[in-house]
Amino acid sequence: MKGASQITGGENIGFADADQSKAEAAAKALGGRVYASNTEAVLQGDFVFLAVKPQVLETVLGEIAPAAKKRAESGKPAVLVSMAAGWPIAKIRAVLHGDETGPAPVPVVRIMPNTPALISQGVIVMAVPPELGEEKARELERILGAAGMVDQLEEKYLDAVTGLSGSGPAFVYLFIESLADGGVRAGLPRDKALRYAAQTVLGSAAMVKETGKHPGELKDMVTSPAGTTIAGIAALEKGAFRGIIMNAVEAAYRRSLEMG
């Protein structure tokens, strides 16, 4: 993530990947280190980010479980930070501990970032279990802050977050592409249309954030009687634009529930 090395210090960032070349490339970009295995990452790291697909997470958890439990029992646990959609903390702990009783629980935090985090403009929502402690939670929030806006929320909302901000960038990219296509249809050169569309979305989002006004109020500021904007809005409403967007978020949310 952009800016991460400035927050934690490049030498404190390490990478492990099934494809060693990817780990080496990431380490080189941030001045970090490369771990020989996932187990080594858990034995050495304070916060271990599980950046794997949901369908791979169970295999990875089985691999690192012995090291994670060893760290927990030592009194210096590695905090596992999962960003896998649909995997609640309780399920992760169940895979880590199995039917065992007695060992110190492995601390697990669940987060849902989105792709704009790559340019420090992301939304990262984190569900933090009480046993993690305020100090560790603040430290994690400080690290994640290099990637964008960080917020804490109860875990029960994480699937909804996945549908909105996790999947949302793809919906926005499709909207930008469609805006640009509309410009091309109206006669604009493709490169100009795409540039104008992207900046229009960027500026409009900034207006919502910086003015604090409701999007409906800002929409009305652009919409004059019998003008061009209301003609376009009428076309969107005819195509059930709002309902389609709401359905897209709900579909992503329900898929996240299914994956859990």
Q: Tell me the CATH number of domain 4-166, given options 3.30.465.10, 3.90.180.10, 3.40.50.150, 3.40.50.720.
A: 3.40.50.720
Query: Distance between CA 98 and CA 38 in Å, rounded?
Result: 19
**For tokens 């791979």, what's the residue?**
56
Where are the domains positioned within the chain? 4-166, 168-259
Give the amino acid at 108: V
| Model confidence pLDDT, tens digit, residues 57-81 | 999 999 999 999 999 888 899 999 9
- Asked whether 79 and 107 are in contact (CB, 8 A), the reply is yes
Instruction: Report the 10 Å Cβ neighbour count for 62.
Output: 12
Q: Tell me the CATH number of domain 168-259, given options 3.20.20.70, 1.10.3730.10, 1.20.1050.10, 3.60.20.10.
A: 1.10.3730.10
Q: What is the model's pLDDT at position 30?
A: 85
Please give the share of the chain, as a percent, with pLDDT higher than 90. 81
Q: What is the model's pLDDT at position 102?
A: 53
Q: What is the model's pLDDT at position 4?
A: 47
pLDDT band, very low/low/confident/very high, at 177 (cuts 50, 70, 90): very high
pTM recorded for the entire structure? 0.88
List the Cα angle 115/172/193 in 5-degree steps: 115
| Model confidence pLDDT, tens digit, residues 97-119 | 876 655 568 899 999 999 999 99
